[in-house]
Amino acid sequence: MRRRLLALVAALSALPLALAAAPTAHAADPTTMTNGFYADADSSAKRWVAANPGDGRASAINASIANVPTARWFGSWSGTIGTATGAYAGAADARDKLPVLVAYNIYNRDYCGGHSAGGASSPSAYRNWIAQFAGGIAGRPALVVLEPDSLGDYGCMNQAQIDERESMLTGALAEFSRQAPNTWVYLDAGNPAWAGAATMARRLHEAGVRQAHGFSLNVSNYLTTAENTAYADAVNRELAARYGYTKPFVVDTSRNGNGSNGQWCNPAGRRTGTPTRLGGGAEMLLWIKVPGESDGNCGVGSGSSAGQFLPEVAYKMIYGY
């Protein structure tokens, strides 16, 4: 593995104190411990291509989706979670690549939206699950997107439920700090169409983002990178003004190639975006949602379940029609 560079430290030291990024317990930079991003060898797109080699869509899906480094999502379907995250981080580490993992199992998940409802059976079950998740990664380099939608999904929740959720997220961040020192964790902050910047800054702070490496935007959504970058800048202005720190951010670009048509659940005519890379207006642009995986029983995915791979949707998303 390559040695960690010091350029980031030097850049941050030049910032005014009030706007400097808040320190975390993580001293290591996983992007400089590895040589590029890990492409999941067992993604839904990869499995479909392998099972359908004679399909006329297979070549395009393989080249334009299956071989692009994309996050793997972990939840109740993942079996023994520490074993699952350990195996995935280990497979990436063996190739000197940086994996992106999504923790998606919070109690009362998608409580208001409903399409991806589920999650752990109780707050205590979640605390145990996320502790094992972090322990599985251990000292290997990794990126983790923590609980997509969890801070945007407040519309139908009462204050006690919100407090409970914030406590679970704060506890999760503490587990990564304790057990996974070479992991950067991004607390998910929804997207620009969900909550105002001031509201999201408050939610991030109250959920413990100061202890995270940063925050993530646009997960499973379609808004442009420019829209997300502007929103992140506004969130950071609020964090700086209210709490005295800012945070790096990442944007899910997997399906934002031609922006949003105002729909979030399997909209027609969307296109894949900039492949996973460092920089690009954010700290990183990441494919977090696999293009072609359904958002639920809606839109062009009518009759499907959330997470199901739909080859026709994937194929059309490559070309934007």
Domains of the chain in sequence order:
16-319 (3.20.20.40)
In this predicted model, which residue has the larger pLDDT, 26 or 207?
207
Question: What's the angle, vertex CA 247, arms to CA 286 and CA 262, rounded to 5?
Answer: 50
Catalytic residue (one of 110, 188, 252, 295): 295
Residue 119 has pLDDT above 50, yes or no: yes
pLDDT digits (tens, 9 = 90+) for 222-262: 999 999 999 999 999 999 999 999 999 999 999 999 999 99
Chain centroid offset of residue 307 CA: 15
pTM above 0.75, yes or no: yes
The whole-number average pLDDT for the span 96-111 is 95
Look up residue 32 and give its two tokens: 């400089």
pLDDT for res 112? 86
How many CA atoms within 13 Å lie on the side-chain side of 308?
Answer: 14
Catalytic residue (one of 29, 40, 110, 149): 149
pLDDT for res 26? 52
Look at 108-122, 225-239, 266-280 and tell me which has the smallest mean pLDDT: 108-122
DSSP annotation of 66 reads I
- Answer yes or no: is 184 a known binding residue: no
- Answer yes or no: is 77 a known binding residue: no
How many CA atoms within 13 Å lie on the side-chain side of 78?
Answer: 27
- Answer yes or no: is 48 a known binding residue: no
Element (H, E) at 144: strand 142-146
Is residue 40 flagged as an active site residue?
A: no
How many CA atoms within 13 Å lie on the side-chain side of 214?
Answer: 20
Phi, psi of 309 (to 5 degrees): -80, 125
**HEC sequence for 274-307:** CCCEECCCCCEEEECCCCCECCCCCHHHCCCCCC
Residue 2 has pLDDT above 50, yes or no: no
pLDDT for res 118? 87
Look up residue 157 and give its two tokens: 């929740």
In this predicted model, which residue has the larger pLDDT, 29 or 2?
29
pLDDT for res 12? 38
pLDDT digits (tens, 9 = 90+) for 167-204: 999 999 999 999 999 999 999 999 999 999 999 999 99
- Answer yes or no: is 283 a known binding residue: no
Is residue 149 flagged as an active site residue?
A: yes
Q: Residue count of the chain, please give it.
A: 321
| Burial class (CB within 10 angstroms; exposed 0-12, middle 13-18, buried 19+) of 240 | middle
Nearest-angstrom CA–CA distance, 70 and 277: 11
pLDDT for res 23? 45
Question: Are the C-beta atoms of 82 and 134 separated by less than 8 Å?
Answer: no
- Answer yes or no: is 293 a known binding residue: yes
Chain centroid offset of residue 116 CA: 15
pLDDT digits (tens, 9 = 90+) for 3-29: 444 343 344 343 343 344 454 445 589
Look up residue 139 and give its two tokens: 């000292």
pLDDT for res 321? 87
- Quickly list DSSP for 20-50: SBPP-S----TTTSSSSBPPPTT-HHHHHHH
User: Among residues 183, 173, 235, which one has the least CA distance to residue 207?
Assistant: 173
pLDDT band, very low/low/confident/very high, at 69 (cuts 50, 70, 90): very high
Q: How confident is the prediction for the chain on average, in pLDDT?
A: 92
pLDDT digits (tens, 9 = 90+) for 287-318: 999 999 999 899 999 999 988 999 999 999 99
- Answer yes or no: is 221 a known binding residue: yes
